A and B are shown apart, each in its own frame.
Chain A
Amino acid sequence: MLKIAVVLLSGITIGALLRKHPVSILPKIIMVLVWVLLFSIGVEVGSDPRIIGHLHDLGLEALVLTLAGLAGSIGTAFALWKYANRRTGR
């Protein structure tokens, strides 16, 4: 948690120092890092027999709970979006 914040803040500092020389290749690097991250999450899931062995029954339960939570939070976010846009008249 703290490490993540430190890494983020040092990136922001360096980015601010480089303002006169924008790093245009950055979006591509970020995309590749997202691929690496998803691949390694996949490896962690695939190599854990506790998860793979129970995917069929526990997975369905997890999916149902996730969809319910997502639907609820997207609903409240949509309500806030509507409320904020109406009041500011955007």
Chain B
Amino acid sequence: MKNSLVILLFFIAGTAAGISGIIPEGLIGGGASHCALYALMFCVGISLGNDTTLLRDLRSMDPRLLLLPLMTIIGTLAGCAIISICLPSRSVFDCLAVGSGFGYYSLSSIFINEYKGTELGTVALLANIIREIITLLAAPLMARWFGKLAPISAGGATSMDTTLPIIARSCGDDFVILSIFHGFMVDFSVPFLVTLFCNL
């Protein structure tokens, strides 16, 4: 929990720095965060390669767990469809389009901006950032209360990059391979599902 609070503090500090405008224009919008993301992926890769038990774990993994990406997609879309009743200003397909970002905020908000306008695009951006932040903060609790698949599912498309370290910490290294597989599969579904729901 202490780690999550530190992470949240960094996010708040970043937001404050962004509002105050003390960060030079050139550093905003991808450059720095992309470098950090690549460095993160590289380090995660090294720790994966370093681990001699991983290949054995992949072979011994329960094949039913490979259904997890499908479960994530079905569960997220069902939740968004049901809650759309409480959001009269949005159609059920608007809600499904926002939900099909699965935490992949950059891509989904770009698509939704284009098809549905800035307003829903901003909702998509915020919703998917919130999904990532909640997963980063609450992954240990999700693993304890709802089983070790819950943080991976909550991470959605980010379970292979930004939320992978916290998933590894909360679920153990046994679930890293499943988490990456899950992230890849959900990631690939994002452009297809988002454009589908925007056109319905």
Contact = CB atoms under 8 A, between A and B. Distances in A.
Query: SS class of chain A's interface: helix, strand, loop or mixed?
Result: helix
A38 B52 CA distance: 30
Given A11-B43, A12-B45, A65-B95, A46 B77 contact: no
Contacts of A9: 45
Given A38-B10, A62-B127, A46 B74 contact: no
B67 interface: yes
Given A13-B49, A31-B3, A58 B122 contact: yes
A78 to B, nearest CB: 4
Given A16-B50, A73-B156, A43 B83 contact: no
Contacts of A76: 71-72, 74-75, 78, 153
Interface residues of B, number: 92
Contacts of A15: 45-51
A35 B150 contact: no
Contacts, number: 279
Contact of A62 (B65, B71, B126, B153): B126
B15 A45 contact: yes
B45 A14 contact: yes
Given A35-B6, A58-B126, A73 B153 contact: yes
A77 B17 contact: no
Interface string A1-27: 101100111111111111100110011
A46 B82 CA distance: 31
A33 B125 CA distance: 22
Interface of B: 3, 6-8, 10-21, 23, 27-29, 32-33, 36-52, 62, 64-65, 67-68, 71-72, 74-80, 82-83, 86-87, 90, 95, 98-99, 118-119, 122-131, 134, 136, 142, 146-150, 152-154, 156, 160-162, 165-166, 180, 187
Interface of A: 1, 3-4, 7-19, 22-23, 26-27, 29-31, 33-48, 50-52, 54-55, 58-59, 61-85, 87-88
